[in-house]
Amino acid sequence: MDRQKKIVKVSIQGIIMNLFLVIFKGLVGFLANSIAIILDALNNLSDMLSALVTIVGAKLSNKAPDREHPYGHGRIEYIAAILIAVIIFLAGISSLKESIVKIIEPVKADYSWYTIIVIITAIFVKFFFAGHCKKIGKKVNSQSLIATGLDAYTDAAIAFSTLVGAIISYYFEISIEGYLGVLISFMIMKSAYGIIRETIDTMIGERPDSELTKKIKATIGKYEEVLGVYDLMLHSYGPNSLVGSAHIEIDDDLSAKEIDVLTRRITGKIFNEYGIVFTLGIYASNDSGKAGEIKNFVKDLIKEKCEILQLHGFYVDEEAKSVAFDLILDFNCKDKEEIKKELLEKLKEKYPEYKCYIVLDTDISD
């Protein structure tokens, strides 16, 4: 079964499950005069709408690339996840409003044994469905399904708090309906906020997964011609749709033919192993003679600079009398330009016949 079909299947299961919960909880809530159970039923109703959004998002995101969208439509799933979170958040606000009314004008609930059975059933159903959603969501890398799973765990916690309130009311005749409703409302809104924050972080562009970047670098580094792997970047155009790039350092005496064969082999292997469309840039290496002397001088200069995380892309062009290299500085470094200026001055003083160029790079990946 392909990815889209799995997402749709789980979403339809969620719609059917929530439909039954809405019917049973709604009836029990009205019969017991319980605002907590009624709000829980309304929350299940919003979950049905969320499942519909997930289905639509999965269908749209699966559209093939076109001229206007050459990277495909995968990011629609992130929009769907945010819409789901907004629906959940609005349900939380509505619940909060009704709960405050019940605190101001309390009405005693009339719980019975069948009420408690319905609530316990809802807890187990939601808990197991949450695990199912998260498992499939992670397996197919669906932000929407993962969000649905997290919401279902919240629903299970809400149902449990309702159960506690029902037991207290049944045995001790103390009504905490309104206060339970407030607690439920805040749990709903917190769940929605977490989904929104996580999805927006993904859309803005998070630091790539450390484990994945290390694996990719290790894969590239296995080729004997590769002396180093740097500047690895990964861009997400939707779940399971990554585009990446990196620089590799190689000897400067390799021919264009040898470089072409090498880069084709590497990018092919990255695509086959990780499903990532990959592009490689080249850093030529010449560490012998004068180039080695200058490089060692630069290494000694940066030893005292704890803000400098890495030196790479070092090359000395004897014909042009130029020295060029990249430096990666810590994100917390405030005086990057001052560090660059100081290094350039010391290089100029030591090697006045050379023009020096320093690129301040970004610490993008591990």
Q: What is the pLDDT of residues 287-307, one digit of tens each?
A: 888 889 999 999 998 887 888
- Give the pLDDT band (50/70/90) at residue 119: confident
pLDDT tens digit sequence for 81-118: 888 788 878 878 877 887 787 778 766 666 677 777 87
Helix (H) or strand (E) holding 328: strand 322-329
Predicted pLDDT at 108: 66
Share of the chain above pLDDT 70, in %: 96
Extract the tokens encoding 218.
Answer: 């290790």
Distance CA 79, CA 99 (A): 30
Residue type, 240: N
- For residue 325, the cross-strand partners are 358
Helix, coil or strand: residue 351: coil
Helix, coil or strand: residue 311: strand
pLDDT tens digit sequence for 48-81: 877 888 788 878 887 888 888 888 888 887 888 8
Q: Which of 8-22, 140-154, 221-235 has the lowest mean pLDDT?
A: 140-154
Going along the chain from its start, the domains and CATH numbers come out as 3-204 (1.20.1510.10), 210-361 (3.30.70.1350)
Distance CA 325, CA 298 (A): 10
| Selection from 52, 47, 61 nearest residue 3 by Cα | 61
Predicted pLDDT at 266: 97
CA atoms within 13 A on the CB side of 35: 25
